[in-house]
Amino acid sequence: MRKTRLLSCLAALALLAAGIAPGKARAEEGGSFFKIPVGLSYASTYWWRGVEVNGKGSGVLWPSVGLALGDTGLSLLVTAGLDMDYFSADTSRDRRAIRPYHEVDYCASFAKNLGAIASFNVGALYAQYPFYDDNDSSATNPAFIEGSLGLGLKTVLNPRIDFYYDYFIKENADKFPHDEDYYAKFSLGQEFMKTADSAVTVSAWVGYYNNAYLDAKGFSDAGLRLGFLKDFSGTVFAAGLYYARSLDSDFWKEYDPDGNGRGRIKNHVWADFSVTRTL
């Protein structure tokens, strides 16, 4: 089974826990220490480190709920990734075939501003696939634990580096090394037309991925994002438009939409949308 996961649990936590647009401080004195962020997002494809993992143009829906502990920077989040092909399938057999692609992610993070110079975050995630053996009772459980570490500088273009280390719990170490997967991502981003409750952002990234499970290694992806965000009285609406390219040939997946011969996917375009609010 292919391994999939939330696009960025830590980024979702940061937005959900704040429940606000960038630059708008809404921390209320005397407010509850425990804040409950809830959200719903949709991505028109499941992008994962250079690959559209659920198939070309297969969308994914992400409902989520979390817990933010005041201004400590500590947050928890539970989110479910639902393959949208499941809801459009014509038969119960087709739906059963798609169910293994559903997932549930359990995230914890700590984020800290280092003055006016930088920001820092560390996190852990457990990715569960409740239906992984629906179609094959002998299938290996693909659940994994991911640790992440990020550092961003508050300067021109806001350079940032994020590192992820994945540990697959049930893999056969002789065939599929379960402790050799890691991903490093370097990104730049800049806000434009920023107000107290809205912002437009442009960002770019490049990533290097060592995927021991699929025997893929190299510069996996590079891309551009145009993002929009608006806060309506504490309810935040966000959208993003993306272009990415799979770089190394290890990440050029095959695609045969018409049955006329397989092609290799290198270029990718998609969009995502989200709404979040902190209760």
Residue-wise pLDDT for 13-50, tens only, equals: 555 444 444 444 444 445 789 999 999 999 999 999 99
Contact 8, 127 (CB under 8 A): no
What average pLDDT does the segment 263-278 reach?
Answer: 91
**Quick one: pLDDT at residue 142?**
87
Residues 61, 66, 68: CA angle, nearest 5 degrees: 145
Contact 273, 238 (CB under 8 A): yes
Phi first, then psi, for residue 10 (nearest 5°) are: -65, -40
Q: What is the pLDDT of residue 221?
A: 97
What's the Cα-to-Cα distance from 45 to each of 6, 34, 38, 84, 231, rounded to whole Å?
Answer: 12, 33, 22, 10, 25
pLDDT of residue 173: 55
Domain coordinates of the chain in residue numbers? Answer: 9-24+31-278
Q: Is the pLDDT of residue 11 over 80?
A: no
Average pLDDT in the 199-207 region?
97
Q: Which two tokens stand for residue 93?
A: 């057999």
The pLDDT > 90 percentage for the chain reads 70
* pLDDT at residue number 18: 45
Nearest one of 124, 89, 121, 126 to 106, comparing CA atoms? 126
pLDDT in tens, 155-169: 999 999 999 999 888
Question: What would the two tokens of residue 233 be?
Answer: 């009285």
Query: Tokens at residue 172, please?
Result: 């056969």
DSSP state of 218: E
In this predicted structure, the answer to whether residue 205 has a pLDDT above a threshold of 60 is: yes
Rounded CA-CA distance 116/5 in Å is 32
23: left (phi over 0), alpha (psi -120 to 50) or beta: left
Mean pLDDT for the chain overall: 86
Q: What's the whole-model pTM score?
A: 0.88
Does residue 2 surpass a pLDDT of 50? no
With beta carbons less than 8 A apart as the criterion, state whether 129 and 103 touch. Answer: yes
154 close to 164: Cβ distance less than 8 angstroms: no
Start-end of H helices in 44-170? 85-88, 92-98
The CATH classification of domain 9-24+31-278, taken from the options 2.40.160.40, 3.50.50.60, 2.40.110.10, 1.10.3720.10? 2.40.160.40
